Structure 1
Amino acid sequence: MTTYHLRGFTLIEMVISIVIMAVLAVIAAPRFLNLQQDSKQATVEGVSAALASSLKLAESRIIIDNATQSIDYAGENISLTGNMPAASADTLRALLHIDVPSSWTRNWWEDPCDEPEFCILGNMYVGKGNYVEVPGFPLDSNGGLDRASYIWPRGYTLQSEGCYAFYINKASAEVYHTGAIVSGC
């Protein structure tokens, strides 16, 4: 005859197990909950990196062609301002090979982007209605010679401390800047 000894968990073992799981949940849960924010930041930073690479290629095309008005970039015509790609929505579309939204809103500071992936805004300058200043890259008020363009993801509005990639054509100094603002993602 076989004898079985059934032994369960003691109350102390159960309490310790629950405490350990609670500590793990407190430490691990915020990590998993921030994945959506991290993914939006990574998306915007990826767009910024792609834009920077495309601008370098366009810069090479400008030098090779000795262009002053426009260049052919992968079959797309890109206008130049200050010997650099113009800061327009068409420029972003051509450099990144994406479509300019067909139903974008002029209320980009109030209404979230509702396009499939991104919204694009170009040709913004100091003095133009609802111009969005990029932190660390203020433009001079020089009659709109220096301009900025932006690309931001679905569900977000365009704001200075927002979630977007940018391209600034500082034609007055013949330099450009590109980057990402992800503090609002």
Structure 2
Amino acid sequence: MYKQQGFTLIELIIVIVILGILAVTAAPSFINFSTDARVNVLKNISAAIEAAAEQSYLKAAIVGAEKQSRSSAARPPEVTINGISMELKYGYPEALADAPAGGDILDLLVLSDDLEVCYSVNCSASNSSRVKIGYDTTEGTGCYVRYSEPGGTGAPSATMYGLEIVTDGC
């Protein structure tokens, strides 16, 4: 009696078709590695900003500056972090320091040169209450994290900072 050894052509074709279907459905999830990486970088920046803001608040609370609308070297009590005199609103760092020697939120972060930093909606650096950090800082459609100082545009209240992650353009 003759015994069959191996697979028939039909069986091989069925296996190839099934593997093809699996490859087509799984491939899109592997293609978006760069988007996923950028979104994760933004999440890490957001976490770093949150940690820096909370650190400054705790230091402000120690010296009694957490309830002041503004505190800096010119408006005591002064809060110094890493040798920098910080400009604070209700204990949290300002987005953009008014004084040239004053510290703001960016002075508490270490950022890659690959990232853009943009103040306000149109990226002008004059008197802004928010800063955007990311790969594309186009308002609303880019790929960035926005920090809003207390009382600034996008902040939840006059005494609390705001953080928003925009990933539409990642």
Give the structure-2-normalised TM-score.
Answer: 0.72
Q: How does 1:7-46 map to 2 (within 5 A)?
A: 7-46=5-44
Report % sequence identity.
29
Unmatched segments (≥5 aa) in structure 1: 99-114, 133-143
Q: How does 1:82-97 map to 2 (within 5 A)?
A: 83-88=91-96, 91-97=104-110
Match of 2:147 among 160, 167, 172: 167
Match of 1:119 among 108, 116, 119: 116
Please say if residues 131 and 148 of structure 2, whose CA atoms lie closer than 8 Å, have aligned partners that are also in contact. Answer: yes
Q: How does 1:33-72 map to 2 (within 5 A)?
A: 33-67=31-65, 68-69=71-72, 70-72=78-80
RMSD: 2.7
Match of 1:74 among 82, 86, 91: 82
Secondary structure, in 3 states, of the residue corresponding to 2:169?
coil
Unmatched segments (≥5 aa) in structure 2: 66-70, 73-77, 98-102, 153-157
Q: How many residues align?
A: 146
Q: Deviations over 1:63-103 (max 9, x none)?
A: 112232252112233212455311128623322134xxxxx
Q: Which residue identity lines up with residue 118 of structure 2 in the other structure?
A: L
Give the structure-1-normalised TM-score.
Answer: 0.67
Please say if residues 95 and 148 of structure 2, whose CA atoms lie closer than 8 Å, have aligned partners that are also in contact. Answer: yes
1:147 aligns with 2:145: no
Distance across 2 between alignment mates of 1:18 and 1:76: 64
Secondary structure, in 3 states, of the residue corresponding to 1:170?
coil
Q: Which residue identity lines up with residue 39 of structure 1 in the other structure?
A: A
Secondary structure, in 3 states, of the residue corresponding to 2:104?
helix
Distance 1:157 1:55, change over 3 A: closer
Q: Which residue identity lines up with residue 165 of structure 2 in the other structure?
A: A
Distance across 2 between alignment mates of 1:158 and 1:78: 28
